[in-house]
Structure 1
Amino acid sequence: MVDPATDPLVEVLLHLFVGFGLGALIGLEREQSESGGTFAGSRTFPLFALYGGIVGSFFPTGLSIALGVLAVPLTVAYAGKIWYERDIGLTTLMAALLTVLLGAIAMQSDTGAVIAIVAGGAITVLLSVKDPIHEFADRIDEAERLASVKFILVVLVVLPALPDRSLDVLYGLNPRFVWLMVVFVTGLGFVAYVLGQFLEPEQSIALTGIIGGFVSSTATTVTMAEKTEQNETLYHVCAFAVVTASIVMFPRALVEIAVVNPNLLSRAVLPLGTMTVVGAVAAGALYWRTTSDETVEPGELQNPFRLRPALLFGVIFAVVLLVSEYAHEWVGTSGVYATAFLSGLADVDAMTITLSKLAAEGTVSTQVATTGIVIAAIANTLVKAALAWTLGTYRLGRLVSIVLGIVVVSGLVLLVVGV
């Protein structure tokens, strides 16, 4: 007796249903948004997916011909749409072609079905956020637009051109790896920046700290400190934003470790995770003490896609990488820890990625790498407390120091017990 789970016919029908479902999802979005108009809607898009699925399953070599055949009626329908509706947008037409391809991809294999589901979901989300995307584009001024374009061009041009090997002239540095980490860290900040534009963090003190922490926790601390100088009664909400921005650094470091050296993650997750939880509980207590009318704008978040800060981070990262490696070779573990503390005063990302890479190469042990990362995080946390004292009011400095002090102590305890 044939097992239904392994029956080829059942498998084909399931994959065909996946494609049909994706077509229906995209079609519903097009019809509800009224973007498809008379061109295509909730019935036509599932048919596009079935067309691609049937051709992809039974006539895979003729898929390109099938797309060409479909292009004829699509062109006629699109021309009619322009004539009757005076709308020359290509979004719905491209969605139709992609839906055909999704149907074909879903039929290839289980992996193809998963890829089709992910791509179909992304297409649906992209189609449904038309207004927010246009609003976001309108908010970007000319200077930010040029900065982003220059950065992206440099990434696309420079990254492939850099050699992917250690160079003696650079004291053993791999230039492509250094630049790839610059792009990665900047990309994390840019994701938070985009979220900040969509979610308007100035209307939520929680988002002020979280998004500010991913973009620049130091800048958020300085901004909040200056706010308390202007209005001392805001010290509770400003302290919450500073603490939140500071503890975001710990999960951000875990993300960087997971990307650079996943094997180190299991060891680093306990100290950094504990510091995150302790900080989050303390921040929650601050939030509870904050009255509902205590709202504050965090200040303008700058687009992280700027060439000069990216190059500066690249230089810092390269120097930290070299100093850490040679410090371990010449002085031993104590040299790594000293470098971690000094580097952490300015930037945690560089030290986190550096020690993750050195641990992956076997240059330092996982224990030394984890301890060094925690030391860098503690040093940077102390800097935030110092900035709150120096630039803010006495109440802000005291409150931030108490809360971040508890976080630092939790990290130190874990280091002392040898975690």
Structure 2
Amino acid sequence: MTEPATSSLLTLSFRVFVAFAIGGLIGLEREKAESGGTFAGSRTFPLFAVIGALVYAFFPAVLPVAVGALAVPLTVAYGGKIWIEQDIGLTTLTASILTVILGALTTHSQRGAELAVVVGGAVTVLLSAKGVIHDFVDRIGEDERRATSKFILVVVVILPLLPDRELDVLAGLNPQFVWLMVVFVTGLSFAAYILSQIVGSKRGIALTGIVGGFISSTATTVSVAEQTADAPSLYPVSTFAIVSASVIMFPRALIEVAFLNPALLSQVVVPLGAMTATGALAGAVLYWRSTDENAVETELTNPFRLRTALFFGVVFAVVLLVSESANTWFGVSGVYATAFVSGLADVDAITITLSTLAAEGSISPAVATTGIVIGAIANTMVKAALVWILGTRQLGKLVTGVLGIVSAVGIAVVLTL
């Protein structure tokens, strides 16, 4: 609900100052920008924000008129900028209008002021990251752009259309929930992929393992193991990259639990946290022993692909149905068996499934925690097996030893809960 403009003078003055600060922040960035400095800068943008704040505080109905009135001189100035500089970029013009709106938000309400601060900060970061963003876009190939565009389109179009209820024809599954989980999991991977593209191909072994683990720890393991088979002397640094990618799987699972069932997080964080700490300690030792900083590199592909997303959706739906049935027919042992088998292929599916079942009360938090750890250990075993198959004997022994210790810690902690 909008607060009256007659609120205390001190509060109103503070809100106007917040608007001024937001405008100043954006203005400073624009003044330093080559394309925006001659159009509007550190003095003009604060004025835009203050105009928005004052107009909405005392004449809220006139705000559209004020924005329109400002648009006229802005358009004239923008035309002059195009004529003089031959630059037709719309960024600064758009930022100017947005700054007026952000200023108005500060006097709209407390929530509006908070939102204005958040959006103002985000806008400043976005504007200042022009070079990084353009470099990132230039590094994306046509196939990746097409894959990303298709998936985003499918998310926007399909998700709202899917029924948000359990359907008997789908054995009681909720289609919208299943697809939402697909979007969530691939979104996590895509965020890490963007980071990997921003950092570039010259990243060191530490970031190779960490980013690769968030995108796909299995793909990272396969890539590094194959490189080590061609160059066996890389096994120390390769071990670090594989262990890092495998251990990052645990914090990723914690993020999923926190998103779906925050009440379960306090239990799951104990064993997975212990496994993460053990793996990080072992990784630190491996990193200290390694000498080649950029010896290994992984080919990380865009995880936002429709076929991959559909495959995960099917896996998640099957794991969810099997877990519910196993719990009904075989009790706790059925859940654990399902967690192990599912974990061999994918940790995300069993983590999301057990978190959901625990939130619904179908299984206890203790069973969910143990099942998630079992799935994580099963997937860790797969990494070790892949290293033996694709890598070298030295790499296999070292990776198996480290991941074996990490798994043993997880089992020991779960048994004490």
TM-score normalised by L of structure 2: 0.97
Residue 180 (structure 1) aligned with residue 180 (structure 2): yes
Hey, what's the Cα distance between the residues in 2 that align with 1:201 and 1:407?
29
Question: Map of 1:162-173 to 2, 5 A cutoff?
Answer: 162-173=162-173
How far did 1:227 drift? 1.1
CA distance in 1 between partners of 2:286 and 2:170 (Å): 48
2:355 corresponds to = 356
Give the aligned residue type for 2:387.
Answer: A
Please give the residue correspondences for 1:301-380 in structure 2 after superposition, counting only pairs within 5 Å: 301-380=300-379
Q: d(CA) in 1 for partners of 2:14 and 2:345?
A: 54
The offset of 1:43, in angstroms, is 0.6
Amino acid at match of 1:79: G
The runs of 5 or more residues in structure 1 that have no matched partner are 1-6
Runs of 4+ in structure 1 off by over 3 angstroms are: none
TM-fit CA distance, 1:200: 2.1
308-317 vs 75-84, greater mean Cα deviation? 75-84
SS of equivalent to 1:107: helix
Matches within 5 A, 1:15-94: 15-94=15-94
1:199, distance to aligned residue in structure 2 (A): 1.1
SS class of match (1:211): helix
Q: Is the 8 A contact 1:203 1:297 kept in 2?
A: no
Letter in 2 for 1:361: E
The within-5 A match list for 1:19-418 is 19-200=19-200, 202-291=202-291, 293-417=292-416
Structure 1 residue 69: deviation in Å? 1.1
Whether the aligned pair in 1 keeps the contact of 2:35 and 2:87 (CA below 8 Å) is no
Distance (Å, rounded) in 2 between the aligned partners of 1:38 and 1:408: 60
State the 1:295 CA deviation.
Answer: 2.0
In 2, the alpha carbon distance for the partners of 1:230 and 1:40 equals 57
Deviations 1:193-252 (CA, angstroms, capped at 9, x unpaired): 000001125421111001100110000001111111111111111100000000101110
CA distance in 2, matches of 1:284, 1:107: 50
1:122 positional shift? 0.6
**More deviation in 311-320 or 134-143?**
134-143
Residues 27 and 41, structure 1, Cα contact 8 Å, conserved in 2: yes
Distance (whole Å) between structure 1 residues aligned to residue 318 and residue 295 of structure 2:
38
Specify the code of the residue in structure 1 equivalent to 2:327.
Answer: H
**Structure 1 139/201 Cα, relative in aligned 2: closer, same or farther at 3 Å?**
closer
Moved more, 32-41 or 45-54: 32-41
How far 1:284 sits from its partner (Å)? 0.6
User: In the TM superposition, what is the alpha-carbon distance from 1:176 to its structure 2 partner?
Assistant: 0.2
Offset from partner CA, 1:378-413 (integer Å, 9 cap, x none): 101111111111211111111111111111010000
Classify the secondary structure of the residue corresponding to 1:164. Answer: coil
Q: Deviations over 1:38-73 (max 9, x none)?
A: 211111001001111111211112211111111111
Query: Following the alignment from structure 2 to structure 1, what is the Cα–Cα distance between the partners of residues 271 and 38?
Result: 58
- 1:90 is displaced (CA, Å) by 0.4
How far, CA to CA, are the matches of 1:97 and 1:151 in structure 2? 31
The 3-state SS of whatever aligns with 1:248 is helix
CA distance in 2, matches of 1:268, 1:294: 34
Alpha-carbon contact 1:320-1:351 (below 8 Å) kept = yes
- The superposition leaves residues 127-167 of structure 1 with CA deviations (integer Å, 9 ceiling, x where unpaired) of 01111111111111111111111111111111011000000
- In 2, Cα distance between equivalents of 1:339 and 1:36: 58
C-alpha distance after superposition, 1:258-314 (max 9, x if no partner): 1111111111111111111111111111111111x3422423210011000110000
C-alpha deviation, 1:108, in angstroms: 2.0
**SS of residue in 1 equivalent to 2:108:** coil
2:4 corresponds in structure 1 to none
Paired AA for residue 403 in structure 1? V
Query: Take 2:411 and 2:401, find their aligned partners in 1: how far apart are those partners?
Result: 15
SS of the residue 2:35 aligns to: coil
Sequence identity (%): 65
Q: Deviations over 1:357-398 (max 9, x none)?
A: 101111111111111001000101111111111211111111
What is the match of residue 3 of structure 1?
none
Return the alpha-carbon distance in structure 1 between the equivalents of residues 88 and 392 of structure 2: 57
Q: Is the 8 A contact 1:56 1:104 kept in 2?
A: yes
Moved more, 161-170 or 137-146: 137-146
Query: How many Å separate the matches in 2 of 1:166 and 1:58?
Result: 50
Count of residue correspondences: 411
Q: Which ranges in structure 2 are unaligned for 5 or more consecutive residues?
A: 1-6
**SS of residue paired to 2:284:** helix
Over residues 56-93 of structure 1, what are the superposed CA-to-partner deviations in whole Å (9 max), with x where a residue is unaligned?
21111221111111111111111111111111100000
Equivalent-residue separation in structure 2 for 1:117 and 1:95 (angstroms): 15
